[in-house]
Structures are given as C-alpha cells and as structure tokens.
Structure 1
Amino acid sequence: MFGGDVNIQLRTDPAGAFVGIRDVLAKADFRFVNLEGPLCGQGPLIPHKPNWTYADPAMVDALTWAGIDVVSCANNVTFPASAAVASLEVLDRAGIAHCGAGHDLSAARRPAVVQREGKSVAFLAYSSICWPFEHAATASRPGIVPMRAVTSYIPDPRVAEVPGAAPTVITTPFSDELDALVADVEKARNENDHVVVSVHWGVPGTVVANYQYTVAHAAVRAGADIVIGHGPHSIQPVEVYRGRPIFYSLGNLVFDWPVMHNRHMEGLLVEYDFDGTATIIPTARDGHNTAQILDGAAAIDVLQNLAAISAPLGTTIAVDGSRGVLQLS
C-alpha cells in the first residue's frame, strides 16, 4: 500500500492522523509513505522556507500505530543535515525503515529492504525538489539523494508581437544523477525480487514536467516494478509504461503543517500486487486533518478526474464502486 505526502505535527494524539484509514492500511503486507517533515523537534529552521515548522519526535507514534513499514526521507524539507540525522535516529528507534537520506551519500542511496512471504522488496527514494546548497548528501556529509533537473525556456514565436506570451518550459534531468539512479535500480533488482522507486518532484497542478517522464521511464527500464511520485501536493496523472505503473503524484495523505490546512485535501492510496494488479483508493482529509477513505460520489469524482487527466497518456482506469482499477496490460 502506497501513500503520498505525510506530515504529522502539533497533535496531542498522533495516532488520530490515521484513524480513518488504519483498517485499509492493515490489509496490506507493507505500507509506504513519503515522510515530509523530519521528526527532529524544534531544531534549526529553514530560513528560506517561510513559516516552516518541524515535527516533534513523539509524532513517530502516528507512523507506528498506522503500521507504516517504510518511509521516503528524500524531499525538500529533510534539511538541514542535523535535522535529517536526528529524524533518521528517531525512525531507527521506532523500527521504521527509511530510504533516500543518510549519514553520507552511500548510506542515503542504500535501499530499504522489506521481506514478506519469502520475497524481498527494495525501496529507493530520490528528490528533484532540492535546495542548491548543503542539501544533497556527499561522501562526507549527511543529506538526501538528489535527482535534479535543468530548466530552460523557449520563447513563444510571437513574443515580440504579443508581449507576455508564455514560453515553452523544457526540463532535463542531470545526466550523472540519472545514471546513478539507473545503477541503483539495476543493483537493487539483481539483489531483490521487486524494486519500488519513489521520487519527490513536480509542481502543483496536473501537468507533468518533461524530466519526470524521462526519470520514470528510465527507472522502469532499469527494473523498477512501480514508480511512486509525490511533492506537488496535488494528484497528478498515472501512466503505464512497459506494463509498469507510474503514479506521478499521489497528493497529500496527512499534512498537519498549518500552512497546508484546508489546502490540497485529496490524495490517493495505491494497493499494488506485484503480480500485476493496481487498485486506487481515493482519500481526503476532514476538518480535523484526519485522513479518511472516500466513498460514493466523492470517490467517483476523484477517480473520474484521475482517469481524465491520465487518458492522454493512454492510461485506462476503470471505476469499480469507490475504487479505481488500473489496466496494466
């Protein structure tokens, strides 16, 4: 079971964040989310991210209560290094596996591996949303695993005639970081039965940037069974590439950061069977910021919108009651 962005803070009862979806999560063999918010207490703030607040280490109880097995720590708020290290230590004490960040680049690139029913599943995590200074891990410094991209602009042909005409935006992944990701996936595939690749990327809205396609397709060609995206806080299209699902953004699952209150309320859970079945479960946060499973008309609306934005990629999503079934053939 895969979920999107999770930020837990300022709660007297951390477990309450997941009370509305715990029964659904419990049906899975393992559960994975993006932990967007280090569990490091007050810590050093991010001066260039206004109003940002970190989570208290006690908030890890929400993850353990919900049965979260693996989290990605590769995102823009796993920063600075001291906050990242403190959070990893909290996760280690709680017995929650993590990927995408580490005490050095080698540790950050190391996959989290979960064993189930004689099979091993490796989780790798990367972030394209990355501060340009002291954020990416190095051989001697803690941090995250970057998967950055270059942005360029092609002016509208009529811009001289029509001032303000929007340019075409072109994004291209850093070639060395893409090569490293491919090598990571190939190695993980050789050593495990299945590989999950998670990337923190994209911009709010439903438009997928060029580099996201390039990175996702390369990951699948290298051996990834599924690519899980998050970062824009909004739901983005789903693509099936070489029979493998790519979820460009699952949106928010739980997000307590006050700035996010009453914004980007909907998200997706994905129940994936490595034999080739993907079921999409719409969620939304309620007035108490608690994740709830949607049903009825609300669920159908989310699924129909997802099907509509995914159709240009050749994706077919069948709506079965309050669930979506992704056709992988």
Structure 2
Amino acid sequence: MITLVLGGDVNLHGRAKSAFGQLEPLLKGADVRFVNLEGPLEAATAEALTSAGIDVVSCASDASHPAATLGVLDQAGIAHCGAGANLDAAHAPAVVERSGKKVAFLAYTSLRLPGQVAQPAAPGIAQAFATTAYQPDPRVAEIPGRSPLVRTAPVPEHLDRLIADVKRAKAANDHVVVSMHWGLPGAEIAEYQVTYGRAAIDAGADLVAGHGPQTIQAVEVHRGRPILYSLGNLLADRPDGLLAGCMLGDEPRLELIPVRRTADGESQALAGDDADKVLRYVADVSALRATKVTVQAGIASVAVGA
C-alpha cells in the first residue's frame, strides 16, 4: 500500500518557510505528498515546500515564469508535472517510487491565459480546455428572460491526449494520479469537469485531484475510484480547503481533513464544530453525486474501491 496526502492550491508569495508547520504531523505520515503550485517559485519560498516534505507539485496552473520555477523545483529535489520546456515535457508524468511501487502524477489546466500553453517547441503548461455554449431554458417561451443553460464539453483533441497520457502512464507505473485545475467558484460542477474526471478514471487513473475554483467541491466515486472535484485552498488567499489522505492498493481508502489559513498566513487543520461544518457540507454536495461521505470526529471517510 502507498499512502498519499494531497492538498489544493498553494501560493507561497510572501509566506514563511514554516507555512505548513502546523500540518507537518499529517504530511510527514504519508509516503508521498502532493500540492498544486500557483505562482512563480523562488529558492527562498521553496523552503516552505521542502520543510513540509512535499514530493510532487503540479505546475499546470501558472506559466508566468515556467523555466525559473521548474529550475527552482529541480534544485530543491521536488518532482513536477503539468509544465515543461515543450508540449511533450508538459504532458510527461512525474514519477515517485516508494516501497517498490511507482506512482505517476499528471497535471492539466482548464483555466489559462493566451500564450501559456506549451507548444511542440515552446515552453508552457498542459491544457485540458473546454468549449462553452448557451442553451435557451426549456421554459423561456412561457417565461421570457429566464437564464440560459450553460453547456460545456472538453475540447476533443485535449480529451484524447489526456486519455492517451493516462493509459501510457498506467502501462509503465503501478498507480496514476491526475491533477486538474478547473471549475468555477461554488458548489456547482461544470459538465466538462465530469467528462474529464470520469475519462481519466476510465483510462486507468487511481485518483483525480481537482483544484482551481478556490472553493471546496464534491467528491464522486466513479468505478470505485475517487474524483475530488476541488480540494479548495491549502495555502492561498481564500481560507478553506481539504487535505486528502489516500491509500492506493488492493484496499483503497480516502479520508478528508478540513484546513484553514490562519491570520498569520499558515495552514492548520480544523477541529470540533468548525471541522464538522465543513465536512457536512462535503457530505451534502457529494451525496448529490451518489457518493457517501461519513463524518466523524473532524475526519470524513469516503467509501471507495467498490
């Protein structure tokens, strides 16, 4: 069994190297630790990641200074995925080996600015973009002015590339984790998120970890494997997020612990009523996706592997 701890968005600008200090008991107990990195990274701020023992980061959510950030990560010994010197490098997995088992991490973004996307001979990020269309509400003939339905779908060639990436990574490694930077703030999950998430699981991913909306979203179990639609923030401008602990193997397990940024800019695990309030919300929105989340003593357990 391999134990993973996964966090959501992390922006280290202006943070102390002790930013994850209160989470160290949770982080250090895992075999592999993963977060999504937002914003450029410098050697000084990288100390916050190395002090916390972060093993792998996604760089797919920011490409403002890709070469410099990737260089700092390489120097710090932190594996990275989702960005690279060219298209193939951006789509290449970061592979971590523990106890004779290899875990491959792939990362993509559906949220990007022009010029950020990797090209065959130019640096950038790996994209999994979507199209947007507006469908008139079915009752608009009866009630003029009703808001249209928003329909989204993956860009076909991006979906095909993601599926091929996952299959290739699964063939060469024991486990595959897919990181997706996507979505809109709030509880509602866009159609394209569901399509990408389920396609990644169908292609062989053990887990899909989402982030980007700056809010917590539902968990869905698809074919016995979890899709975490948004872990929210681990260390960013908005306060709340989830820390996900996952065991990969014959008897997979998933647990969620709520975290919040303190007034000092550090991240801490919630407890008591504060924790239960966040986790009951997770249970409620996950139930809408036919997924049972059990909350007890500040920890949520998700039934996976069935």
| Residue matched to 2:294 | 318
TM-score, with length taken from structure 1:
0.89
Q: Choose from 186, 189, 200 the match for 2:181.
A: 200
The equivalent residue for 2:85 is: 103
What is residue 124 of structure 2 aligned with on the other side?
Answer: 143
Instruction: Report how far residue 296 of structure 1 moved.
Output: 1.0
Quick one: which of 172, 190, 193 aligns to 1:209?
190
Question: Matched residues in 1 for 2:229 and 2:78: separation?
Answer: 24
CA deviation profile, 1:35-63 (whole Å, cap 9, x unmatched):
01121xxxxxxxxxxxxxxxx44101100
Number of corresponding residues: 299
1:272-287 aligned at under 5 Å gives the runs: 272-275=246-249, 276-287=252-263
Matched residue, 1:229: 210
Amino acid at match of 1:267: G
Query: Residue 18 of structure 2 contacts residue 51 of structure 2 at CA under 8 Å; is this kept in 1?
Result: no
Distance 2:57 2:183 in 1: 19
Q: 2:102 aligns to what SS in structure 1?
A: strand
Paired AA for residue 189 in structure 2? V
Q: Which residue among 103, 107, 115 is the counterpart of 2:97?
A: 115
Q: Does 1:91 align with 2:76?
A: no
Determine which of 155, 158, 170 is the counterpart of 1:189. Answer: 170
Q: 5+ unaligned residues in a row in structure 1: which ranges?
A: 40-55
The partner residue of 1:78 within 63, 67, 77 is 63
Summarize deviations over 1:144-189 as a string: whole Å, max 9, x none.
0000000000122444664542110000100001000000000000
Distance 1:87 1:30 in 2: 21
Question: 1:63 and 2:59 equivalent?
Answer: no
Q: How many angstroms apart in 2 are the aligned matches of 1:126 and 1:163?
A: 39
CA distance in 1, matches of 2:145, 2:10: 37
In 2, the alpha carbon distance for the partners of 1:305 and 1:158 equals 31
What TM-score does the superposition give when structure 2 sets the normalisation length?
Answer: 0.95
RMSD: 1.1
Which residue does the alignment assign to 2:40? 38
- Mapped pair 1:240 → 2:221: yes
State the secondary structure of the residue aligned to 1:287.
coil
The answer to whether 1:267 aligns with 2:241 is yes
Whether the aligned pair in 1 keeps the contact of 2:80 and 2:94 (CA below 8 Å) is yes
Aligned to 1:218: 199
User: Deviation digits for residues 295-317 of structure 1, max 9, x if unmatched?
Assistant: 11111111111000110111101
The equivalent position to 2:106 in structure 1, one of 124, 130, 133, is: 124
Q: Identify the residue that residue 2 of structure 1 maps to in structure 2.
A: 6
Partner of 2:234: 253
Q: Secondary structure of the residue that 2:88 maps to in structure 1? A: helix
Partner Cα distance (1:156, 1:322) in 2: 41
In structure 2, what is the equivalent of residue 49 of structure 1? none
Q: How does 1:6-21 map to 2 (within 5 A)?
A: 6-11=10-15, 14-21=16-23
- Which amino acid in the other structure matches residue 306 of structure 1? V
Gaps of 5+ in 2: none
Say whether 1:308 aligns with 2:284.
yes
Q: How many Å apart are 1:221 and its aligned residue?
A: 0.6
Aligned to 2:147, the other structure's residue is in SS state: coil
